[in-house]
Structure 1
Amino acid sequence: MADDIDAIFARIGFGYWQLIATAAANLATAALAPALIGSTLTNAQVQYRCQETGTLNTTEGFDNGCSRSSELVIDMQTVSNTTQQTPTIYETSNSVSNTSCSSWEYDTSVFTSTITMEWGLICEDAWLSSLYQMVICAGCMMGDVVGGAFGDRIGRTATLRYGSLVVVAAALGIGLLPIYSLVLVCRFALGLTLSSIMYPTFNLVIETTPTSRRTVVGMILCSPFSVSVVIFTGLGYFLRDWRTLHLASSIFAFLLLPVSWVVDESPRWLAQKGYLEEAKDVLKKAARYNGATLPPTEELDKIMQKLAADSEQTSAESKNSSLGDLKLIFSNRPMAAIVIITPLTWFLMSIVYLGIPLNVNNFGGNPFIYVALTGVMELVPIIVGVAFSKRFSRVPVMSISFFGAGLCCLVVTAVTEEMWWLRWILVMAAMVMISTALTMNFIWATELYPTVIRSRGSCSCSLGGHFGFFITPFITDFLAMRFLWLPNIILGLCGVVAGTLVFFLPETKDLNLCETMKDVEDRWKAGKCKQSTELRNLGVLSYVKSKDDSSENSAIGGNYRH
């Protein structure tokens, strides 16, 4: 069944019809960027001091103090015609006692308003400041579970449309609500819905893209995040009020809502669910939009009938193929390896990926330049990675990227602050490497999981990734308070471990997408996979369909890779 569908999409090609879904996926990814890393500017750490009242505080500069110091001086005044003395108490700047502050002044030379400033999230309330970043990561983790289930059950487009409505409401709530607890609720909802819609939408694009274009399209889908980071930093430079910056950077979320209602459902998903007529209608629309021709009606009907015959078996497997069904998963060796290792690599990768930009407060330097450069570094793998990924397989690219990022983070701990230029080079090199791994991991996760559990499989990877995002603030904020060098050590070790784990995953470059878990197991046992080869002159692909593992194969431009 995989070959038949891939052959049809090879004839349809990649054109205007796929661009609609690609636009939706790009907007979802772009909307996630300011939500995920926006706290670097909207909740930036600022200097503060006890607010002066009269002569209560004569401290010059911002000392980040949570109490004021004063000396009590008693002037005994004799009250006339009595023997009682009434003391006059006043305070001087000489420090002999401490008094807790009731209000603070903030350094507004860089940011006029931040989350911390508005609600006074410092001193004993400093832990509340970290919740702003943590709740959206918690929402993303929950969204991975919800998005995977809904993406496979109600469809890719339904998940996208209904989720977009919640995204807009949550984004407006964050920018307008005056109560911090309600802002946190909206942050959680924003993370939940963005995560829920991003991966099903990503799968929709990959499932409708010809195999020869999959790598290029997959890497293009990752570029909006990097572009959005750079745009967000530019907006932050001119908009120093956190509410204004948040609403302005939510433009991608607002644009996603109308676009989501013109996206067609994935024909692969429709076929898996037995909606064969609907799948055929979508394929006809795709061919019409792209100016392509489908196979003759008789042949197309024959393919649909074959899909109908396979749909009952596929549907039965789908019902039993939940990632929670351990017996089914672990009886299939390659699927067990995929299900265990991929979320773990995503967890480790995400700690490094988010830890580098969040570590700006410990790294020093201009925060706008630092965050903007991390976004620019993310574009490098997309610009040069297309040709690189076509030449090399998934496993070596991923391993080198992980090892490179980890080693750069480890080495930077040994570089002194006087060699600031070398520290910047190492950090940005680590960002390039980990961005390469992230870009390829989006594509690889989609290729590793079969259609019956692709959304849930991809979202399980995202769940591991967002759990890594969730604990990253603990590393960059709390641990750094005690050991400033520790965050980079942890980031480095995460990269090295992830680079080792990828060797246990199967190679998928230039291979057709699997439809069922049995396809994954058969490909593993046979020790050989079909490889599609592009006909350079015609710009289309021909696929091989074998009758069994021992039969001879014939194809136009096709071969086997052992």
Structure 2
Amino acid sequence: MHASKYDENTAFLGDWGTFQKTVFFLLCSSIIPNGFTGLSIVFIGDTPAHHCHIPASVNITVEWRNVSIPVEVDGGHTRISKCSRYKLDVIKGYSDKGLIPWVDVNVSALEQESCEDGWDYDRETYVSTIVTEWDLVCSDDWKTPLTSSLFFCGVFLGSFISGQLSDRFGRKIVLFLTMAVQTIFTLIQVFSPSWVIFCSLFFIVGMGQISNYVAAFVLGMEILSLSVRIIYSTIGVCIFFSIGYMVLPLVAYFIRDWRMLLLAIALPGFLYIPLWWFIPESPRWLVSRGRIEEAEAILQDAARKNGIKAPDVIFPPPQAGEKEARAKSYNLCDLVRSSNIRAITILLCLVWTTLSIGYFALSLNTSNLHGNSYLNCFFSAAVEVPAYIMSWLMFRYLPRRLCLFSTLSLGGTVLLFVHFIPQHLSYVAILLEMLGKFGVTIAFAIIYAFTAELYPTILRNTAMGACSMASRVGSISAPYFIYLGGYYRALPYILMGSLNIFTGLLSLLLPESLGMPLPETMSHMQKVTGFKKRQITYNLDHSKGDQECVSLS
């Protein structure tokens, strides 16, 4: 069944009745836990100030205890060493002799050693994090970015599995299954006895985290009409994600222990169990699978909720060719089967990867910015609200390719300017970083909706899952972009800015979908024609089967 024919057959429902409002707000509300689960590592994995522990059992004078940690110069600023101390047996020998540091002994010339007795951590900001719990510092500091990367590896695998499961078994069952995985395994994480167990569970949480977001996104896109679909895909799900993201620093501010913070994040997931009886399966997907009776039952119930009389027969019996097409199963291989869909898939994967690097690197970096980490995280989340409103306005009135190009270029250009800001003007650098986050966030909201518009119903969730998989390559590497800043402060911004501008240019090669109905089959997909004006053909008169050409720039 052609996309516009499906829209015609269901037009009797209207755009914004009780049924659509219920679906809209319940699906959007299911996104809220993703906002604080996906970025909780900002607080549970933060590294507070620390230095080597000097045991109280070491009998040395107060003067020698005060100078037992070396002083280092870092970026023009002096600070005590995080990973070394002067050899305690040497210090004890001088202390026992009654020698005075810097008077009788040049302390800086003494031999140093690693933190053999562990570390003392600044407890002013956090009671505990996984870093302080398992000493993920100094020689083990590589484990901190790896923790985030393993979470995104789980997201990668979840995207691979859930997209195909959703196209085969339905959007609704995958939505609730992955919500359950995210909630239950986050709860189990609270009791992690070691870093290895924590990471293993975090990997599984990642499998559920983005999968339920994509399933809810696609379910709403397929149920709602075109005018509401644009609002849902930009402002709707995205702002509810931001609500969860903004709640995270507020909750973390009052709960400074990482285990209790995870518990507070996990428990709200159980509130979504009753939604199973209020959120329907996608009628569009049911029709694409040949389950006409189930689709009509959902639409009849929707008409009753809207106070509308539905036709006795909503969908005509399928033709023999349609039955065979609906019976066919599709998988990831179909995303590269023809040259056209292969080109679309490759271009979209590149854009998704770059956006994921920028979005998650900037989001995870908030705890490293100058100032209060809770406020920085809140501002990073709050800047997304106007970004999503802007994405809705752009997506409603402007060509999709122009939206992507302009926002990617804005984000990339601003990030390139960050490394020109002197270190003493840190607030200007933060402002530019937030502006870069603003551009990247707009582009991220647009690419979700744009991708859903380009792929057909029979392959839409698989395609969204595949693009989400590609973006996980970016999110897996995002923590290491931040890690590079420890060697050269401007390097992450130079890399992210350049990648954004480059992929912004690549996005101009994608087909345009402005004003087009959602495609149902592979033959309804738009063609890649580069920068040329597109000549798009689709069926306008279904009763006669006539075709007319509509030209879109």
Alignment pair present for 1:372 and 2:378: yes
Quick one: which of 391, 400, 413 aligns to 1:394?
400
Aligned to 1:360: 366
Q: How far did residue 34 of structure 1 move?
A: 2.0
Letter in 2 for 1:382: Y
Quick one: which of 131, 151, 168 aligns to 1:116?
131
Quick one: which of 4, 17, 20 aligns to 1:18?
20
Contact 1:15 1:290 in 2 (8 A): yes
Contact 1:24 1:256 in 2 (8 A): no
Q: How far did residue 404 of structure 1 move?
A: 0.2
Aligned to 1:227: 243
Where do 1:253-264 residues align within 5 Å?
253-264=269-280
Q: How far did residue 455 of structure 1 move?
A: 0.4
Quick one: which of 307, 312, 325 aligns to 2:323?
312
Q: How far did residue 561 of structure 1 move?
A: 4.9
CA distance in 2, matches of 1:290, 1:176: 47
- TM-aligned CA distance change 1:382 to 1:327, over 3 Å: closer
Aligned to 1:539: none
Of the structure 1 ranges 127-136 and 106-115, higher mean CA displacement relative to structure 2 is found in 127-136
Quick one: which of 180, 187, 190 aligns to 1:165?
180
Alignment pair present for 1:481 and 2:467: no
Q: How far did residue 59 of structure 1 move?
A: 3.8
CA distance in 2, matches of 1:507, 1:22: 26
Contact 1:18 1:205 in 2 (8 A): no
Q: How far did residue 417 of structure 1 move?
A: 2.4
Aligned to 2:117: 102
Q: How far did residue 126 of structure 1 move?
A: 1.5
Contact 1:137 1:469 in 2 (8 A): yes
Quick one: which of 435, 444, 453 aligns to 1:438?
444
Contact 1:314 1:452 in 2 (8 A): no
Alignment pair present for 1:134 and 2:149: yes
Contact 2:370 2:426 in 1 (8 A): no
Alignment pair present for 1:528 and 2:533: no
Alignment pair present for 1:279 and 2:295: yes
CA distance in 1, matches of 2:263, 2:440: 29
CA distance in 2, matches of 1:546, 1:400: 41
Contact 1:9 1:208 in 2 (8 A): no
CA distance in 2, matches of 1:388, 1:526: 20
Aligned to 1:65: 82
Alignment pair present for 1:324 and 2:333: yes
Alignment pair present for 1:151 and 2:166: yes
* Structure 1 stretches lacking a partner, 5+ long: 77-87, 532-542, 554-558
Contact 1:212 1:510 in 2 (8 A): no
Quick one: which of 335, 342, 347 aligns to 1:336?
342
Aligned to 2:499: 494
Q: How far did residue 261 of structure 1 move?
A: 4.8
* Structure 2 stretches lacking a partner, 5+ long: 70-78, 102-106
Alignment pair present for 1:178 and 2:183: no
CA distance in 2, matches of 1:288, 1:371: 44
Aligned to 2:9: 8
Contact 1:47 1:106 in 2 (8 A): yes
Q: How far did residue 324 of structure 1 move?
A: 1.8
Q: How far did residue 194 of structure 1 move?
A: 1.9
- Identical-pair percentage: 25
Secondary structure in structure 1 of the residue aligned to 2:486: helix
CA distance in 1, matches of 2:402, 2:7: 26
CA distance in 1, matches of 2:183, 2:97: 57
Q: How far did residue 485 of structure 1 move?
A: 1.1
Of the structure 1 ranges 400-409 and 64-73, higher mean CA displacement relative to structure 2 is found in 64-73
Contact 2:335 2:463 in 1 (8 A): no
CA distance in 2, matches of 1:64, 1:22: 53
Of the structure 1 ranges 56-65 and 494-503, higher mean CA displacement relative to structure 2 is found in 56-65
Secondary structure in structure 1 of the residue aligned to 2:244: helix
Of the structure 1 ranges 388-397 and 347-356, higher mean CA displacement relative to structure 2 is found in 388-397
What is the TM-score when the length of structure 1 is the normalising length? Answer: 0.86
- Cα RMSD (Å): 2.8
Secondary structure in structure 2 of the residue aligned to 1:359: helix
- TM-aligned CA distance change 1:550 to 1:447, over 3 Å: closer
Q: How far did residue 4 of structure 1 move?
A: 2.3
Q: How far did residue 354 of structure 1 move?
A: 1.0
Quick one: which of 43, 51, 58 aligns to 1:41?
43
Q: How far did residue 245 of structure 1 move?
A: 1.9
- TM-aligned CA distance change 1:394 to 1:190, over 3 Å: same
Q: How far did residue 260 of structure 1 move?
A: 3.6
Secondary structure in structure 1 of the residue aligned to 2:333: coil
Q: How far did residue 49 of structure 1 move?
A: 1.3
CA distance in 2, matches of 1:328, 1:104: 56
Q: How far did residue 184 of structure 1 move?
A: 1.3
CA distance in 2, matches of 1:511, 1:235: 42
Deviations along 1:83-117, one digit per CA (max 9) or x if unpaired, are xxxxx899986452233322211001111111101
Contact 2:535 2:552 in 1 (8 A): no
- Runs of 4+ in structure 1 off by over 4 angstroms are 73-76, 88-93, 521-526, 546-551, 559-562
Q: How far did residue 10 of structure 1 move?
A: 3.0
